[in-house]
Amino acid sequence: MQKFTVHKGLVAPMDRENVDTDAIIPKQFLKSIKRTGFGVNLFDEWRYLDPGEPGQDPASRKPNPDFVLNQPRYAGASVLLARKNFGCGSSREHAPWALDQYGFRAIIAPSYADIFFNNSFKNGLLPIVLPEAQVAQLFDETFAFPGYSLTIDLERQVVVKPDGQELAFDVQAFRKYCLINGLDDIGLTLRHKDKIKAFEAERLAQKPWLAHTMLANA
């Protein structure tokens, strides 16, 4: 998982409440057994005018010129500004995968669906909660100023605006530790790999017949 310390990025505004996970990554793209390749289908039904299917060449699609991510001023955006209850709906982990693989490192919204919120942290995506009034002001400034960017300092837990104003946000200490160090669930487990290997060696020494069982099941 990619580490998150300080990130400065162009802001893209998703000016809709209750954006659900089926809008973030439609159900037909959940058939893949891989964890990659979802970024091209992020917000697929809003982003394109024609129906999309897994494995389809994006160059053959018809982009919706009115959709925010297709507008040239937001090309390369890595901070998504959203309204309340972002990520509601089903619990698909593909939603944060798609956002991350598109290029977003952080989301700023007044509130999130709980499962999406938790899944985001586990996949290196930082969901920031700010008061609705602050989010509304960020929307106004994003619309008013092309190229509007924000700096997110996770260590200090602040969002820094172009004028230097800082907006503080909360994040649980454990989640902060995992993001700063780039540790997902597997990474957390691998911190103890020496102890795991030692345990396995000791167990095989005590019960050598397990080695034959392990070979038979390999």
| Ordered structural domains, the chain, with CATH | 6-182 (3.20.19.10), 184-218 (no CATH)
| The pLDDT of residue 169 | 98
| CA dist list (Å): 76 to 30, 44, 105, 139 | 25, 17, 11, 18
Average pLDDT over residues 7-17: 98
pLDDT 10s digits, 134-147: 999 999 999 999 99
Helix H or strand E encompassing 100: helix 94-102
Q: How confident is the model at residue 91 (pLDDT cuts 50, 70, 90)?
A: confident
Report d(CA 11, CA 142) in Å as an integer: 7
Average pLDDT over residues 45-55: 93
pLDDT 10s digits, 95-129: 999 999 999 999 999 999 999 999 999 999 999 99
pLDDT of 186 > 70? The answer is: no
| The pLDDT of residue 213 | 60
Q: Report the length, in residues, of the chain.
A: 218
Task: Judge contact between 50 and 61, C-beta under 8 A.
Answer: yes
In the numeric block, which tokens belong to residue 182? 């780039």
> Coil, strand or helix: which one is 165?
coil
Task: Judge contact between 87 and 21, C-beta under 8 A.
Answer: yes
Q: Write down the mean pLDDT value for the chain.
A: 90
Helix H or strand E encompassing 8: strand 6-14
φ, ψ (nearest 5 deg) of residue 55 = 80, 0
Residue type, 137: Q
